[in-house]
Amino acid sequence: FTIEHRGAQGVVCADSIRADITAHVIVQIHTSPEAILEVARTLDCARASDPAAIEALFGPKISDALRSVVSRVDFDDLNREREMIRDKTLMIVGEDLDGFVLKDLALDCLEQTPVDDLDPTNVIDAEGIRKITERTRAIALHEQKEEVHAAEARHQMDLQAQAGLLEAQRERAHAEARTRREIAIIQTRALVEVLQARA
């Protein structure tokens, strides 16, 4: 079965940020004869194989354990700590579930609850909204600074490119002037030689 905590029912993390969580739970009857007898005594055979009955029986306990574990983790660490959250939840729930065994718990969704789903009159949600707003503002400010730095770097590169182009034009103008002078000198020498030859 699936356990979902979304919106106003999202799980509150250690830093007061609410998270939407979806967990897929696998519960099965333990294979020992004693466990099978215990299940038969606790539930009849039809209910023992009914997913809705199993969820009604164990869902709240597993859900409370999951809430307890997540409440000790900051929101930013949720995705990094998936395995730890799973293991601690399994440990809290334990193996003995009236003849059933919690086989596995797969955390499918760990996301921030949208701010629109939070209740600003709830103290915990108000604190979470404040932290989300501060982080969002800090991220936007950081991105803005990065854009300004990138624009300044582009501007600096443009200035360097223009300076390089002007320097190249200046060098070309000097080279052309030098060439014209050299040609004028050669022409003057040739004219002098012609005039000397005539004289």
Which residues are 112's β-sheet partners? 19
Encode 165-198: b = buried (16+ Cβ within 10 Å), e = exposed: eeeeeeeeeeeeeeeeeeeeeeeeeeeeeeeeee
Structure tokens at 131: 């932290």
Angle between helices 51-70 and 82-93 (to 10 degrees): 120
Please give the pLDDT value at position 95. Answer: 67
Q: How far is CA 87 from the centre of its chain?
A: 23
Please give the pLDDT value at position 96. Answer: 64
pLDDT in tens, 99-125: 788 888 898 888 999 999 998 999 988
Which residues are 111's β-sheet partners? 20
The reported pTM is: 0.64
**What Å distances lie between residue 94 and 13, 67, 97, 103, 108, CA to CA?**
22, 15, 7, 10, 21
The residue ranges of the chain whose pLDDT is under 70 are: 95-96
Please give the pLDDT value at position 41. Answer: 77
